Amino acid sequence: MSELSADPSRRAFLVGVCGAALLGAGLGSALLAGDAVAATGIRRKKNGQVVVTVAKVPSLQATGGRALLGTVKGTPVAVVREADGSFAALNLACTHQGVTVNPDAAGWLCPAHGSKFALDGAMERGPATTNLAAYPSRWDVRRGTLTVG
């Protein structure tokens, strides 16, 4: 088997294992990979935006809840419910070298060099020196949807 034809199988396996581990750990009840079928309450539009119907995503019902959206227009993104009831979309690329951060019990952790970020993206420990970037999003109060991207 050529290296090229073996790659997709490994990738599919790793995406599945990582997604199952995150869900099993309770670190997010919604995970939407770039090529996966959308989780309940999360819909990918043809233009690359992702629409989150908040009432249908259990992990976003409580303060500090989060939903991993996979990639939005090529950027790893998550949505977090903030203390004031609003929602923030975060670019999950570590500000040190761009590696995608992973959820941990209290926020986000970079698997490459150990940078630690609070749930809201605030940098807590380096080598990163800046916060995770906000990602463009728009809240529609009438529909109860957050459009990301």
Judging by beta carbons within 10 Å of its beta carbon (0-12, 13-18, 19+), is residue 74 exposed, middle or buried? exposed
Higher pLDDT pick, 85 / 27: 85
Instruction: Please answer whether residues 112 and 99 qualify as being in contact, where contact means their C-beta atoms are separated by less than 8 angstroms.
Output: yes
| Span 66-84, pLDDT tens digits | 999 999 999 999 999 999 9
Residue 67 in domain: yes
Band (106; pLDDT cuts 50, 70, 90): confident
Question: 121 in a domain, yes or no?
Answer: no
Residue 114 lies in a domain: no
For residue 127, is it within any domain?
no
Residue 111 lies in a domain: no
| Count: domains in the chain | 1
Q: Is residue 99 part of a domain?
A: no
pTM over 0.85? The answer is no
pLDDT, tens only, 135-145: 999 999 999 99
Domain that holds residue 79: 3-93+133-148
